[in-house]
Structure 1
Amino acid sequence: MSSTTAFIAELIRAANGIEKLTHYEVSRLLDRSIDTIRDMRSHTGVAGIHSARDVLIDLRLSSERARDLLPEQARDILIEAADILRSLKIELDRTE
């Protein structure tokens, strides 16, 4: 299992057990997601697209306000991050 696949699984597990996570843990997962997405996008050439940056802004804002997120909102944003990573992994695997 690749590190990206393992991280996607970690995000899904965290989303499914959101009530067990602290706000800090949610924020750290989102920060890791941002870094990973940014890195993967640079490899796919998606990094310069304006709408691609908007998703990173949304994730950053959610990370910064993790304390104020309802559990459902935190779960949804973790699933969104996992979905973005999954899509980027598929694209990278296709180009290799």
Structure 2
Amino acid sequence: MSVSLARVPTASASRYLQQLAKHWSHKMAVTFTAEEGTIAFPNGSRLEMKADSDTLDVVLHVPDGEDAVRMREVVASHLDRFAFREAPLTFDWHEG
């Protein structure tokens, strides 16, 4: 399992977290509040998000054999859609 971490600077972290969670809740297992959210992907990957006043922290767990770089791109591109006024957001991914 690979783990990727990113701290995304944005004053709208809670809004983006909730929009992404609602967007994917129709196809995936999702739990969320205004401050935290978890999304379970069909390929076994899991996205955990935590929002505060000026950052959105994301932790992406990707099973061995799945494309971690592609999963990072999927998460970033979807968040950028909701952040169109300030996109592209800055994702400084690190291995966890």
Structure having the larger proportion of residues in strand: 2
Same fold (TM over 0.5): no
Q: 1 or 2 for the larger relative contact order (CA 8 Å, sep ≥6)?
A: 1
TM-score by length of 1: 0.31
More helix as a share of residues: 1
Please, what TM-score do these two structures have when normalized by structure 2?
0.31
Larger Rg belongs to: 1
